[in-house]
Amino acid sequence: MTGIVVAGCAALAAGLLILPAGRRRLSRPRSGRPGGRRTRVLLSVLAGLAVAGFIGGPWGVPLGVAAGLGTERFLRGREPAEVRQERAEALADLPLGADLLAAALQGGTSVDRSIAAVADALGGPLGDRLQRVARSLRLGASPPEAWAHLAGVPQSERLVAAAVRSSASGGALAGALERFAGDLRADRAVENEAAAQRASVLIVLPLGLCFLPAFVLAGLVPTMVAILRDVL
């Protein structure tokens, strides 16, 4: 039976290595990380071995294979921490990027050169995406196609819509960018205030848990002991 379990888990590992990797959630091209895939396969095989060894019998191998495949799919669907960090950095730079782009446009610079200058000044994930927007505009791409490079940045929909609308109607983009940056900062201030209020509420719980036993021991217990002495 042990040989069957090992053979089944080996087949599971081979199948997981052959299966195509899931589509990445960011449109930004990233260098492959084979170590992450190997870790995912290793954890899946260990899960399959654990289930097969725990159940045993004729159902151990198929259930172990199913558990391994399910573990691999679950781990593949999880968003990597670096992707979340990249998205957070891009969101943090978005108000500043909008202000810089508005200032460059007000100075009379063309849209593609303004975007390229802001991308060089910002750097990071948002700068990389803006650099691709500027390059696409220079190569003759339509504004919707060029600004689609910001699709993975949270809360960038209004910026993209304003840029596309400005290119179609000829309206001033700088004013829309300034309003967009102001709205982002206002929303962030509201979120920070709400987080501070939640933190102040959560702080009360450990303080109460620490204060209540001390109050019982220092206040109620001596009183109850004194009463019991008088009664007994």
Rounded CA-CA distance 219/70 in Å is 56
pLDDT at 128: 92
pLDDT at 120: 92
Contact 19, 41 (CB under 8 A): no
CB proximity list for 165: less than 8 A, separation 6 or greater: 171
Give CA 230 to chain center in angstroms.
64
CB proximity list for 49: less than 8 A, separation 6 or greater: 5, 9, 64
pTM: 0.57
pLDDT at 24: 39
In the chain, what are the domain boundaries? Answer: 2-78, 84-186
84-186, CATH topology level: Receptor-associated Protein (1.20.81)
Q: How many CA within 13 A on the CB side of residue 98? A: 26
The residue among 82, 99, 69 whose CA lies nearest residue 176 is: 99
Rounded CA-CA distance 230/141 in Å is 93
Residue position matching structure tokens 């492959």: 32
Residue position matching structure tokens 């102040």: 200
pLDDT at 117: 93
* Tens of pLDDT, residue by residue, the chain (232 residues): 455 545 555 555 545 444 544 443 334 434 444 456 677 777 777 777 787 777 777 777 788 778 878 877 777 766 667 777 888 888 888 999 999 999 998 888 888 899 999 999 988 999 999 999 999 999 988 988 999 998 888 888 888 888 888 876 545 788 888 888 899 899 888 888 888 888 877 787 777 777 777 777 777 778 888 887 777 6
- Strand positions, DSSP E, the chain: none
- The residue type at 142: S
CA angle 20, 21, 27 (to 5 degrees): 130
Rounded CA-CA distance 140/163 in Å is 16
Contact 180, 113 (CB under 8 A): no
The residue among 17, 68, 65 whose CA lies nearest residue 47 is: 68
Q: Could you tell me the CA-to-CA distances from 102 to 38, 110, 171, 186, 211 in Å, in that order?
A: 46, 11, 13, 18, 54
The residue among 82, 79, 105 whose CA lies nearest residue 159 is: 105
